[in-house]
């Protein structure tokens, strides 16, 4: 086979073998040991076309797999010259000449996480709405992500924080430390369209916020959790929980995620549901369900099931009702017994509150 024929053959094999899940060019922060603390991926590519993959692979000698490849100005210029995608060329042009470390991250298959940049890319994909909560493998993300001091000069390794604080003091200023956490706030990386977020520190990178969602000051949305939109969030959406459109999580209300006592149970909330103020939910709800204010329904809560005439049907644990629609959970004010009635008064959200154009 001629050299030209061989190169064509290699290109064909590359295009056939690499069905890319995601790739992105990023810029971020490393500590003094050259370990990644965080990575910002502007406009990552989700399931990009084979031609673009081939162009990038040729420049970076990428031959498949989940990989991180460091970029310098020379490689960046070659990418600018070698790819056809206008927006990615523009992003690379803005990165060129920066003293901050830059990287290309490839995720060929959705396997377990192997690096901090890969974890950050998957979190970006959630907040960009390319994937919904629980659709990616995020196993052991806490073991992969470093714990970081988030300051007014960016991410800082905790072991290096003290010296930087001292240096700031000698210059007559205070180094502001907004938090110490493995996850940054979402809005420093992704600002989704059509949402309102009253307090940005309460929405982590990796949250999924659908169009029309409002997160009020005390609302919190964890990573790998979120809303289809439109939704009103005044309580806590825990890791793994997804609220369908039209549902309202009342003030200080709570959903039980896999990190907050739910174990492996994945809680989902259907359409047009209401979890009242100071209430909580540890089971999945179908559409048009209501939990009255102050009532926390866990999987083991004993519930009296009533028919539409409020006649007793049976006694059950709430887990047996998980996923069903048109349920109203209420505590009988005379007996204190938790009842599940047919919900005849499904809520509807105020449309003007959720038009965030």
Active-site residue list: 234
Per-residue DSSP letter, 7: H
Alpha-carbon distance of 109 to 66, in angstroms, equals 7
- Rounded Cα–Cα distance for residues 263 and 319 (Å): 14
Distance from C-alpha of 133 to C-alpha of 264, rounded to nearest angstrom = 14
Q: Could you write out the three-class secondary structure of 270-285?
A: CCCCEECCCCEECCCE
CB 180 within 8 A of CB 147: yes
- Secondary structure (3-state) at 124: helix
CA dist 66 and 19 (Å) reads 12
Site of tokens 């048109």:
326
Q: Which of 186, 227, 185, 232 is nearest to 210 (CA)?
A: 227
DSSP assignments along 83-101, one per residue: ---HHHHHHHHHHTT-SS-
Query: Which residue carries 């205070």 as its tokens?
Result: 174
């Amino acid at each position: 086979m001629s050299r030209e024929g061989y190169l064509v053959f290699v290109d064909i094999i590359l295009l056939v073998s690499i069905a890319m899940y995601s790739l992105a060019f990023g810029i971020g922060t490393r500590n003094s040991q050259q370990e990644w603390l965080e990575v910002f991926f502007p406009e990552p590519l989700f399931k990009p076309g084979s031609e673009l993959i081939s162009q990038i692979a040729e420049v970076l000698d990428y031959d498949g797999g989940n990989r991180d490849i460091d970029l310098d100005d020379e490689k960046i210029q070659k990418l600018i010259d070698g790819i056809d995608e206008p927006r990615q060329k523009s992003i690379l042009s803005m990165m060129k000449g920066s003293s901050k470390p830059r990287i290309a991250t490839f995720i060929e298959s959705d396997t377990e996480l192997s690096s901090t940049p890969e974890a950050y890319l998957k979190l970006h994909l959630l907040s960009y709405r390319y994937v919904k909560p629980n659709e990616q493998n995020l196993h052991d993300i806490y073991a992969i992500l470093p714990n970081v001091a988030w300051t007014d000069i960016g991410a800082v390794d905790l072991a290096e924080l003290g010296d930087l604080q001292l240096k700031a003091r000698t210059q007559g200023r205070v180094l502001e430390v907004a938090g110490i956490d493995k996850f940054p706030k979402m809005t420093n990386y992704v600002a989704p369209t059509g949402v309102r977020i009253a307090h940005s520190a309460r929405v982590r990178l990796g949250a999924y916020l659908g169009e029309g969602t409002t997160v009020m000051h005390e609302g919190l949305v964890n990573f790998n959790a979120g809303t289809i939109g439109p939704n009103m969030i005044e309580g806590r959406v825990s890791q793994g929980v997804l609220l369908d459109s039209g549902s309202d999580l009342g003030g200080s209300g709570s959903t039980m995620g896999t990190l907050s006592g739910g174990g492996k149970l994945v809680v989902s909330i259907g359409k047009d549901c209401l979890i009242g103020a100071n209430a909580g939910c540890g089971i999945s709800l179908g559409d048009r369900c209501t939990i009255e204010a102050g009532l926390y329904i866990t999987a083991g809560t004993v519930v009296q099931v009533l028919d539409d005439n409020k006649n007793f049907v049976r006694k059950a644990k709430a887990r047996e009702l998980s996923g069903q629609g048109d349920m109203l959970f209420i505590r009988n004010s005379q007996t204190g017994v938790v009842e599940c009635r047919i919900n005849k008064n499904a809520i509807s959200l105020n449309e003007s509150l959720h038009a965030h154009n």
